[in-house]
Each structure stands twice: as structure tokens, then as C-alpha cells.
Amino acid sequence: MLTGAEIALKIDHTLLKPNSTKDQIIQLCLEAKGNNFATVCVNPFWVPIAAKELKGSNVGITTVIGFPLGSTTTFTKVAEARDAIASGATEIDMVINVGALKSGDLDAVAKDIEAVVTACKDSAIVKVILETGYLTDEEKIAACRASKIAGADYVKTCTGFGPGEATAEDIRLMRLTVGPEMGVKASAGIRDLDTARKMVAAGADRLGTSASIAIIMGGTGKGY
């Protein structure tokens, strides 16, 4: 059974609220360094602050693009990704074009992802947020396949702003679809150590949560 310290190494310590302050972002970074979290996950505006606070540490910097709806243009997503990398981001969590996916336009979905992957090549890891709460199992499989073909590094469950939360069932389905070559990130609704362990057991190798401290201490937290 994984300990809190072992789980910490898989956590993207997250603060994506629109009313987040500079002091809160700095505190997030201090917590990430102090607890050996994999990355902090912040909105693009805060990436330079996180880069400054985390300089010289082993903590990466995740930011989100096309967030939270996924319906911005590919051009915009690429520009966001390049800007974020220039500011210090090491990992990019992009929201899939949910509307295109629901319309059955898998070519548009794949090209959208591929363009961001190309923009991030050799500079940042790309995680594709499927927003599973909107999708059927067939659509989840199609999104995972498109992400893999496009060369993304991870598939991810949810933004935390949509209708769904991470489930062990979805993680198992995503892992089965992408195989061992890609990462799978569980995000939204992970608020305690038991849930975190279940996600890892189901196949997740990264966890997105704002309840990180409570989780690694064995308690229950609020939020994303």
C-alpha cells in the first residue's frame, strides 16, 4: 500500500481558482517543495511567479490551456502553450475540443492535440484533458486513441470545472486504451488518501488535486 510520501511524488498540487492571489500561489509552491510534489498546477498568468519560486527545485510547473472549455481555436491553444513554456511551464494540460469530439469530428480533435504537441516538442510534457463527465465510454476511448496518435504524453480525466470527477472505472478504461506507453492523470474529486490509492491502483500515474496536503497526511480535504 502506497504511503502518503509515495503518493506525493505523483501529485500535481493544484490551484486554479480564478480568485487565487499571488500569496496563495507562493504558498502553493512552498508546499510543493516541502512535500516533494511532482508539480504545481496554476493558471498561465501565475507561471512566472511559480518559476521564480521553484527555481532550483525538483518541482515542475504545470499550466492549463484552452481551459476550462476546450473550445478555443487551435491557433489560440498553440499560442497559449508557447507563451506558457517561455514563461517557465514544464507541463501543459490542454482541454480537448469537447464539442468536436461530441460531433464525431475526430480529425479536428486529433489535429488540435497534434498542433499543441508539436508546439511543446522537447520543451514540455502534454496532458490531454478529456472532460470525461461529458463523454460516453466510446467517446472516452476515441479521445484516448486520438491523444495517443497525436503524440501526447498523458490523458487526463477532468478539469474540475465540468460535471465529472475522476473514477477508478474511467482510469481503468483510459489505461486499457492507451496502454503502458502513455501516462494517465486522475483529476477532480480526489480528496483523501484512500481515493488517491484507488486511482493509482486503477492505472493512474499522476494525480491532480488541491487537497494534496490532507491526502498525504491521511485526512480528507476540500476543493478540486
Query: Per-residue pLDDT tens for 92-139?
Result: 999 999 999 999 999 999 999 999 999 999 999 999 999 999 999 999
- Between strands 11-15 and 91-95, the pairing is unpaired
Q: Given this model, what pLDDT does residue 65 score?
A: 98
On whether residue 95 sits in a domain, the answer given is yes
93 is catalytic: yes
Q: Given this model, what pLDDT does residue 218 score?
A: 85
On whether residue 24 sits in a domain, the answer given is yes
Residue type, 168: A
On whether residue 124 sits in a domain, the answer given is yes
Identify how many contiguous H helices and E strands the chain contains and give both numbers: 10, 8
What range defines the domain where residue 130 resides?
A: 4-216
Looking at the structure of the chain, the number of domains it has is 1
Pairwise CA distance, residues 203 & 184, whole Å: 7
Length of the chain measured in residues? 224
Q: What is the pTM of this model?
A: 0.96
185 is catalytic: yes
User: Given 77, 127, 140, 156, which residue is catalytic?
Assistant: 156
On whether residue 187 sits in a domain, the answer given is yes
- CATH number for 175: 3.20.20.70
On whether residue 224 sits in a domain, the answer given is no
On whether residue 82 sits in a domain, the answer given is yes
Q: Given this model, what pLDDT does residue 221 score?
A: 65
On whether residue 108 sits in a domain, the answer given is yes
On whether residue 223 sits in a domain, the answer given is no
192 is catalytic: no
User: Whole-number mean pLDDT of the chain?
Assistant: 97
User: Given 93, 153, 170, 205, which residue is catalytic?
Assistant: 93
User: Given 148, 170, 185, 205, which residue is catalytic?
Assistant: 185
Q: Indicate if the pLDDT at residue 151 is higher than 90.
A: yes
Pairwise CA distance, residues 71 & 63, whole Å: 17
Q: Given this model, what pLDDT does residue 214 score?
A: 95
CB 158 within 8 A of CB 131: yes
Answer whether the bond into residue 44 is a cis peptide, omega within 30°.
Answer: no
